[in-house]
Amino acid sequence: MSNPKETMNWFAVYTKPRWEKKVAKILTTKGIENYCPLNKVQRQWSDRKKIILEPLFKGYVFVQIEESKKWDIKSIDGILNYVYWLGKPAILKEKEIETIKKFLNEFDNIEVVENNLEKNNKVEIKHGIMMDYKGVVLEIKGNKALVRIDSMGISLKAIIEQKHLELIQH
């Protein structure tokens, strides 16, 4: 039985690939509070469209557990490890979990995009009319980037969604 005075913290755990829903189900059957945010996504097959629920964060599930029992869940099938921050399992605030829940209640077909672009990065455009052109990031504006594209002796500037840009590794 859990100690009522003991602090319950939210942690993020890494799961085996495509095991997010299975891990959440196993945790629930063991009576462990968890949250696997699911995103409503429309998928197109050759003969039909279907709305499916897929994990918003690939490879992660959130777990709320007492500090004294946090190492017990590493033995659960499908859980690989905790997400670490500064050498310790990262503790998430209740407010962060609530924000994700509210966001998912309000929006469908959400996309998680890692914002790793910076000014002066060299990028390649991966989608749209300028696909396969290379350029330099001049400015970041939310989820869009102002990119300078040099071609045919002239410079063009275009605002492009970051998800359509790929960082060119040196």
115 has a pLDDT exceeding 60? no
* pLDDT mean over 120-128: 83
- Long-range contacts of 96-99, Cβ-Cβ distance < 8 Å, separation of 24 or more: 96/10, 97/10, 97/35, 97/62
Query: What's the CA gap between 164 and 23, in Å, rounded?
Result: 32
| Structural tokens at position 160 | 């492009």
Query: What's the CA gap between 97 and 113, in Å, rounded?
Result: 18
Q: For the domain 8-106, what is the CATH code? A: 3.30.70.940
Question: In the predicted model, what is the mean pLDDT of the chain?
Answer: 85
CATH 3.30.70.940 range(s) for the chain read 8-106
51 has a pLDDT exceeding 90? no
Q: What is the pLDDT of residues 83-112, one digit of tens each?
A: 988 889 999 999 889 888 888 887 776 766
- Architecture of the domain spanning 122-167: Roll (2.30)
Query: What's the CA gap between 154 and 29, in Å, rounded?
Result: 62
Q: How confident is the model at residue 41, as a pLDDT?
A: 80
CATH 2.30.30.30 range(s) for the chain read 122-167
CA distances from 101 to 104, 142, 170 (A): 5, 22, 39
Band of the pLDDT at 170, cuts 50, 70, 90? Answer: low
